[in-house]
Amino acid sequence: MRDNILLKLASGERLTYSEGVYLFREFNLHELGVMADSIRCDLHGDNTYYVVNAHINPTNICKVCCPLCAFAAVEGDVRGYVLGLDEILRLVESAANNNVTQIHIVCSIHPSKSFSWYREIISTIHSAFPLIHIKAYTAVEIAYFSEASGKSIYEVLSELRSCGLSSLPGGGAEIFDESIRQKIAPNKISADVWLNVHRVAHSLGMVTNASMLFGHIETCEHRVGHLIRLRDLQDESISKRSSGDVNKSGGGDDFNGGGYFDCFVPLVYHGANTELSRTTSIEPISPQDILKTIAVARLILRNIIHIKSYWVTLGESLAQVALSYGADHFDGTVFEEKIHHEAGANTPKGLTEKQIQKLITDAKKIPIKKNF
């Protein structure tokens, strides 16, 4: 199988599920890094992308409360909070004063808030700051809006777009295998629903992200299955084009029109303060396994142009190393990330643009600013 995999990678052919598992099991880290870096260089050269962005979490009160989450609080919990629109606008104004071009919004499933409240957050920000790109609401939230309002996913996304929503983040994907999903997020939407939300968003011409949370109770087989399903949806979303290949012109940001996954975000699980880690013995994932996963993602996801080296969960140093293992996107300034830090991430809650640029240049790469 090894020789067949090498031939496929050299010719740009797709790897199968079993071949993806074989990469994890039988190839060493150095081999995977060399192959993944070759694809990265073919797509982007030494260019490494970043955004100047800020995270806003309007509420942490959630009726889902997944075992893997340390951020959520139930109603009545002293940790619970809900930001008012004035507070949200002040945060956006502060971000705009720091030259932020993207606002990244993730909430929770608040049991007492209707779709109109979430929609008003988008319209209020867009009205006050029409030039800022708003990336907001995971597929989990979108599905909840649909259920709570009686509207279809298509109608919900169409309304949000008309209010100023620009793109969707990739959160909530976790691991698609349902047996694992039932243990780590039993009350969350199914993998099929998550994929369908992004399918509909792509049909509307929206750019979205995809993610995978790994390093908990999943196996490499679960990771590969997850990647294959993302690849299949990306194929579906670009199937009407004459070619499913990435258009490499113009800095590597465009497909030939329509909606698609712009970026895959491998998220390392942090378990501090989570029910999952209190009730399950989980060995911390090694840096080698993290880099292997990023490299395999680059080798399998040939049709998704960007692979993130998300410094918030990796740490700055490992995120730099990942830029030589297939990743080409460093995410951004992030001010002020809460979800992973509540679960024990010990990275800074934000970096300046100059710090991002220096981390990239110190890794012998060229920093390229994206607008979203």
Q: Other C-beta atoms within 10 Å of 25: how many?
A: 9
The neighbouring-strand residues paired with 105 are: 56, 136
Q: Is 257 helix (H, G, I), strand (E, B) or coil?
A: coil
Residue 71 has pLDDT above 90, yes or no: no
Instruction: Specify whether the CB–CB gap between 261 and 237 falls below 8 A.
Output: yes
The structural domains of the chain, ordered by start, are 2-369 (3.20.20.70)
Report in angstroms the alpha-carbon separations of 277 from 49, 215, 281, 282: 33, 12, 6, 7
Give Cα separations from 311 to 48, 125, 303, 316, 347 (angstroms).
Answer: 13, 27, 23, 5, 8
Residue range 71-100: mean pLDDT, rounded: 90
Average pLDDT over residues 29-46: 97
> SS3 for 318?
helix
Backbone phi, then psi, for 254, in 5-degree steps?
-120, 140
pLDDT of residue 111: 92
Residue type, 222: H
Residues 6+ apart with CB under 8 A from 190: 178, 181
Residue 265: helix, strand or coil by DSSP? strand
pLDDT at 233: 97
Residue 254: strand, helix, or coil: strand
* Continuous segment of H or E residues that includes residue 248: none
pLDDT tier at 239, thresholds 50, 70, 90:
confident
SS3 of 54, please?
strand
Cα-Cα-Cα-Cα dihedral sign, residues 142, 57, 335, 348: negative
pLDDT interval class at 348 (50, 70, 90): low
* CA distance linking residue 300 with residue 8, whole number of Å: 11
The HSE-up count of residue 158 (CA atoms within 13 Å, CB side) is: 8
What gap in Å lies between CA 355 and CA 366, rounded to an integer?
13
* Closest listed residue to residue 270, CA positions, set 341, 165, 356: 341
Segments in the chain forming alpha helices (H): 2-11, 17-26, 29-44, 85-97, 115-128, 139-149, 153-163, 178-184, 191-203, 220-237, 275-279, 287-300, 311-314, 316-322, 339-342, 353-362
Of 337 and 64, the one with more pLDDT:
64
Judge contact between 61 and 110, C-beta under 8 A: yes
**Residues recorded for the chain:** 372
pLDDT in tens, 278-334: 888 888 999 999 999 999 999 999 999 999 999 999 999 999 999 999 999 999 888
Place of tokens 């009350």: 187
Kindly write down the DSSP assignment for every residue of 203-219, as one continuous string: HTT-EEEEEEEESSS--
- Three-state DSSP state, 41: helix
pTM above 0.85, yes or no: yes
109 torsion bin: left (phi>0), alpha (psi -120 to 50), beta (else): beta
Predicted confidence (pLDDT) at residue 340 exceeds the cutoff of 50:
no
